[in-house]
Amino acid sequence: MRIGCPHCGARDLREFMYRGDSAPERPDPEAVDALERFTTYVYLRDNPAAPHREFWYHSAGCQSWLVVERDTRTHEIRTVRLCQVGT
Amino acid sequence: MRYSGWALAWNAITGQKNWPTVWRHASPKDAYDVVIIGGGGHGLATAYYLAKEHGINDIAVLEKSWIGSGNAGRNTTIIRSNYLLAGNERFYEWSMKLWEGLEQELNYNTMVSQRGVINIYHSDAQRDAFARRGNSMRLHGAGGKLLDREQTRLLLPYLDFENARFPIHGALMQPRGGTARHDAVVWGYARGADKRGVDIVEDCEVTGFLISKKRVTGVETSRGAIRASKVAVVVAGSSSRLAAMAGLRLPIESHVLQAFVSEGVKPVINHVITFGAGHFYISQSDKGGLVFGGDIDGYNSYAQRGNLPTLEDVCEGGMALMPKIGRVRILRSWGGVVDMSMDGSPIIDMTPIQGLYLSAGWCYGGFKATPASGWCLAHLIARDEPHPAAAAFRLDRFASGRLIDERGAGAQPNLH
């Protein structure tokens, strides 16, 4: 598997670290149902057999956090973009 | 037919023409008391023990492919009960006890070989951790021996004891651990379940659940709807997909675990050996192939195949532990889709949908659990209360905080 880093180009899997599904969003700790929402945020995943948006960290390269859309059935990488706050 | 020396002799002189089919290829009926989704070792064991121990015989086991085509046929066949935490160890030790009587129980040669599982340690700190785990094993009746360097050398003289980076200080051994023949486990349970009236339906994929007022009433399949008031999901890496059909999200990610086998060589490795300074484990099959594996690849996957960095990492571990295997050629590699849970421990529980049961989160250790998983899930389905050995494997433990985190890695499935 090679991941096309926006800064470095297509690089080998060995250069990256995986941090999992990018979908969960940290809930508001002040919310009345914060406990339930945090349980969902920490533990529950969609885990699809389909295109999956996930965080990869280019640790042995430019050290950027990336959001990679990758098909979990084939490992085909569809899109790679830099991780930005609020996206 | 009961398999025996007499049966073997009789069939030899009658030209091997009278062996009966091991299990019927059943077509699904419209309704059953219990439907089990997943014809792997766990699903078939569940059906077997439901019929044998609880007198429930009106059961269908639905398998989308052929039985044993998933992880039951893709593992490294290791059996052991060498866990630390009480929630796990009690269960795995019960599984070990079932393994020890399995061939007599099933009248089927599952080739259970208690050749000993040896975990190597490489530092004083690791020795202390292993001693603690060994004490836990002994408290649960699993047995265990802490070997020092020279005792380890007597058993495994070919290890690289003088390795500069990972010197071998000793090992924790569970003499009762070992291996079993994975396909035979599937076939043995299938035969036993079939004999007790269970319908094993292959090429039957579940496409949805019939649910009415938060209560399951059956399943939709590629071969039509099947009604049942109790349905169990026993599908390993596909757990999240099935759960999604019932509107549930699980604390599980599916990952790929690779395993490897070498060309056949003469007997060289008599135990199951694990490297303590990386992730590498190895045993030798009766055909002579060295069967080995290591870490999961580490990213979500349903592909049943992995990438080369993991292969390299596994082989580096092997070379650090036993350089003599360096000239052996790898014959095959394969991947299985494993259901990694958020704390590294399994789930055998009811779900928020009445009549829907879940056995999942087996991570990369499901094979050794096969007998007890079936035993405990059958108990849960038949009595609607958890078996004491699996009482900690609750689905709600992630909300309640009663996690069973053997590795202490937190909610990070690719680290367990």
Closest chain A residue to the Cα of B341, Cα to Cα: A43
Mean pLDDT of chain B: 97
Contact A47 B399 (CB under 8 A): no
Contact assignment for A13 to B398 by CB distance below 8 Å:
no
pLDDT over 70 (residue B135): yes
Which residues share a beta bridge with B35? B60, B231
| B87 lies within 8 A of chain A by CB | no
User: CB atoms < 10 A from the CB of B156, how many?
Assistant: 20
Beta bridge partners of A20: A55
CB of B93 within 8 Å of any CB in chain A? no
Mean pLDDT of B139-149: 98
pLDDT at position B369 over 90: yes
Q: Is B186 helix (H, G, I), strand (E, B) or coil?
A: helix
The residue-averaged pLDDT of B7-28 equals: 96
Q: Kindly state whether A49 is in contact with chain B, defined as any CB-CB distance less than 8 angstroms.
A: yes
The string of pLDDT tens digits covering residues B202-250 is 999 999 999 999 999 999 999 999 999 999 999 999 999 999 999 999 9
| CB spacing of A74 vs B303 below 8 angstroms | yes
pLDDT higher than 80, residue A85: no
% residues pLDDT > 90 (chain A):
95
Give the residue from chain B lying closest to A38, CA to CA.
B399
Please provide the distance, in angstroms rounded to a whole number, between the alpha carbons at the two ends of chain B: 44
The Cα B230–Cα B379 span in angstroms is 13
Of A27, A65, A68, nearest in space to A44 by CA: A27
pLDDT > 60? residue A87: no
**What are B307-337's pLDDT values in tens digits?**
999 999 999 999 999 999 999 999 999 999 9
pLDDT tens digits for range A11-50: 999 999 999 999 999 999 999 999 999 999 999 999 999 9
First CA to last CA distance, chain A:
25
Q: Quick one: CA dihedral A85, A53, B260, B62, positive or negative?
A: positive
Q: What angle separates helix B366-383 from helix B86-100, to the nearest 10 degrees?
A: 100
- Answer yes or no: is the ipTM higher than 0.85: yes
For residues B370 and B72, give the distance between their C-alpha atoms in angstroms, rounded to a whole number. 9
pLDDT level of residue A84 (50, 70, 90 thresholds): confident
pLDDT band at B254 (very low <50, low <70, confident <90, very high): very high
CA dist B174 and B149 (Å) reads 16
Residue with tokens 């530092």: B123
Contacts of A36 in chain B (CB under 8 A): 399
Each residue's pLDDT tens digit, B28-60: 999 999 999 999 999 999 999 999 999 999 999
Tell if the CB–CB gap between B251 and A45 is shorter than 8 Å.
yes
What per-residue confidence (pLDDT) applies to B367? 98
The DSSP call for residue B177 is -
What is the tens place of the pLDDT at every residue in B45-103? 999 999 999 999 999 999 999 999 999 999 999 999 999 999 999 999 999 999 999 99
| Cα separation values, B329 from B77, B158, B258, B322, B325, Å | 21, 18, 17, 15, 9
Distance (Å) from the C-alpha of residue A28 to the closest C-alpha of chain B?
A: 18
* Confidence (pLDDT) at B1: 87
Q: Which residue of B240, B299, B316 is the best one to mutate when testing the A interface, meaning the one whose CB has the most A CBs within 10 A?
A: B299
Mean pLDDT of B260-279: 97
pLDDT at B23 over 70: yes
pLDDT band at A86 (very low <50, low <70, confident <90, very high): low
Residue B105 confidence (pLDDT): 98
